[in-house]
Structure 1
Amino acid sequence: MPNRSEPRVITPALLRDWALPVPSGGKENRGTVLVVGGSRFTPGAVLLAGVAALRAGAGVLQLAAAESTAAALSIQVPEALVVGLPETRDGALAGDPGDQLAALVAEADVVALGPGLKEIEETARLLHLVRDAAGRRTALVLDAYALGALSHEPDLLVGSGRPVVLTPNLTEARHLLGRDPGDDLDADAAELAARHDAVVSLYGHIAAPDGQGWREESGDAGLGTSGSGDVRSGLLAGLLSRGAEPAQAACWAAFAHAVSGQRLVPRYGRIGFLARELLDEIPHTIATV
């Protein structure tokens, strides 16, 4: 493992010195985010991730989800191109979706894989498709079941040269580590970053493969709500789409996610706000750093 540096606390001052790119021109200059996920029973995860990507500055949004949910998603997110993909009998996204998904992946600047997926074997097939179809500089954000699939093939993305960010929660980190996370999440994030050759964002503990680390300390209990992780993954994808580097996007996303939650506390208290309510806070949080 590379020599670790002492993690730096993410503050507004640190972020101001690490300013996000501000693309000029049309929506194409802000990049295309493709979110691949959902099942017959969890289309909301794709919606949350996709809208978060737009709120973070992505120019074009595409959603690939279970065919039975596509019409509803296209109405709920009229800003997006929505593509319905084949399902298994249980409503999971099928691991052999055909050429349409591969074509979308090939044209995307960022692919977020995982929100709302189920069935690990089907997800593993989707992960292989995304890896093979993505361009060399296409950024990948892996979350949820995509991380479970990666845990079975830890070298799958090593040495690919493309930007990759992993966003595990503690359960997903346990699968990736092969053990329970310890008390030092900075060390666990660094171990995963070195193992997978990727930036890792683990509960606000962010590590890069070169040993650099950062820590977000503003998060509170309210973020531990259903769908919150989908928002964070989409937020990160949107920042990558507008041109941020992986570690930069992970740090900004962790901060914007946490502070957007703080902004909801006066209305809802420390707990009780919903993941979808984070979405409207994201642009203002980023703009006022």
Structure 2
Amino acid sequence: MSGTGGTRDAAERAVTVTSSVLRRWPLPPPGTGKEARGRTLVVGGSTRTPGAVLLAAESALRSGAGKLQVATTATTAAPLAVALPEALVLPLAETAGGGIDAGCGRRGGELAELVEQAHAVLLGVGAVGEPDVRGLLEDLVPQVSTVAVLDALGLAPVTADVTFLHHLQGRAVLTPNLTELAIVLDADPEEIAADVPAAALELAARSRTAVAAGGGESWIAAPDGRLWHDATGGAGLGVSGSGDVLAGIVTGLCARGADPVQAAVWGTHLHGRAGDRLASSVGRLGFLARELPPQVPRVLAEIEV
């Protein structure tokens, strides 16, 4: 990682995200029907981690997205459809390891058709098998014409080629945790932890995407060098599934028509404030990722009144 005095200066100039900041940067009007709030497509999951897709998909709806579609492994598609009665669920061929077969992303297939119709596509939550995920996304992402959000193993193609999303011209968001941020930048995790804003800025500039990176606090970087700092949420958000919720919120906001950078900033704050609400009612530690999505509409209402 190439940390510099310039990135440190940028961190000092970072905008602190608050409700008042977001009120001056309102989300697009919601419209009156589900089509007006966009189609969200979540692609991911495996036979070992089906819950990640459930968390992300529900979070997209809780953030106000209008129409939900999910593509996941054939074995888990039926129970997921029951858990998500609001969604169209597409079963996909599986690998021997329980992940999505890389061939499912080829042009002309059912998944490719959903990608072409979606207003925002979330890729990678709960996915397993790095070579298969890379192969799947290398076929799918060139077919995305709107917004792509990459999370977890979905970051693998960017790790292999940082220009992977350049064709989207900024219509993309990456949501790495600090471990994933270090892997993508091929940097020492301790170096990343010591200067998260510099790392987020570097990845945003190199990948030409919005980057929402966090641990105990979050930094959101835009490709043009803008930077935001969000201190909401606290240690309680360091729990299994929390990142899936964040990725789903950001994707849902993109489907509603938010600019990718705006969706990353708003989504990070909604995620953190949802954690704050649970910290006050449940405890600073011990609340579950599945408890976060129902808090999101309440936080939205608090900000938008």
Normalised-by-shorter TM-score class = over 0.9
Which of the residues 87, 93, 113 maps onto 2:123? 113
Q: Which residue of 1 aligns with 2:184?
A: 176
Q: Which residue of 2 aligns with 1:198?
A: 209
Contact 2:72 2:92 (C-alpha < 8 Å) held by counterparts: yes
Once the two structures are TM-superposed, the CA of residue 162 in structure 1 deviates from its matched residue by 5.1
Q: Deviations over 1:104-158 (max 9, x none)?
A: 10100000001100111111112112212212xx100000001123201211112
1:95 maps to a residue whose letter is A
Asked whether 1:188 is paired with 2:199, we answer yes
Asked whether 1:130 is paired with 2:140, we answer yes
What is the CA–CA distance in structure 2 between the aligned matches of 1:258 and 1:52, rounded to whole Å? 13
Which of the residues 132, 140, 148 maps onto 1:140? 148
Q: Which residue of 1 aligns with 2:276?
A: 262
Q: Which residue of 1 aligns with 2:14?
A: 7
Q: Which residue of 2 aligns with 1:92?
A: 99
Q: Give the structure-1-normalised TM-score.
A: 0.96
Q: Could you say what the CA RMSD is over the residues aligned between the two structures, in angstroms?
A: 1.3
5+ residue gaps in structure 2?
Answer: none
- Determine which structure has the larger helix proportion and give its number: 2
5+ residue gaps in structure 1?
Answer: none
Q: Which residue of 2 aligns with 1:240?
A: 254
SS across alignment from 1:33: strand
Asked whether 1:103 is paired with 2:113, we answer yes
Q: Which moved more, 1:230-239 or 1:242-251?
A: 242-251
The size of the alignment, in residue pairs, is 286
Task: Quote the sequence identity (%).
Answer: 45
Q: Which residue of 1 aligns with 2:296?
A: 282
Contact 2:53 2:125 (C-alpha < 8 Å) held by counterparts: yes
SS across alignment from 1:89: coil
Contact 1:45 1:227 (C-alpha < 8 Å) held by counterparts: yes
Once the two structures are TM-superposed, the CA of residue 24 in structure 1 deviates from its matched residue by 1.4
Contact 1:159 1:197 (C-alpha < 8 Å) held by counterparts: no
SS across alignment from 1:280: helix
1:57 maps to a residue whose letter is G
1:243 maps to a residue whose letter is G
What is the CA–CA distance in structure 2 between the aligned matches of 1:75 and 1:257, rounded to whole Å? 25
Q: Give the structure-2-normalised TM-score.
A: 0.91
Q: Which residue of 1 aligns with 2:238?
A: 224
SS across alignment from 1:288: helix
Contact 2:149 2:173 (C-alpha < 8 Å) held by counterparts: yes
What is the CA–CA distance in structure 2 between the aligned matches of 1:159 and 1:66, rounded to whole Å? 28
Q: Deviations over 1:75-128 (max 9, x none)?
A: 000000001101001111111115111111010000000110011111111211
Once the two structures are TM-superposed, the CA of residue 182 in structure 1 deviates from its matched residue by 4.2
Regions of 4+ moved over 6 Å? none
2:252 maps to a residue whose letter is G
The equivalences for 1:140-159 within 5 A come to: 140-159=148-167
What is the CA–CA distance in structure 1 between the aligned matches of 2:129 and 2:193, rounded to whole Å? 27
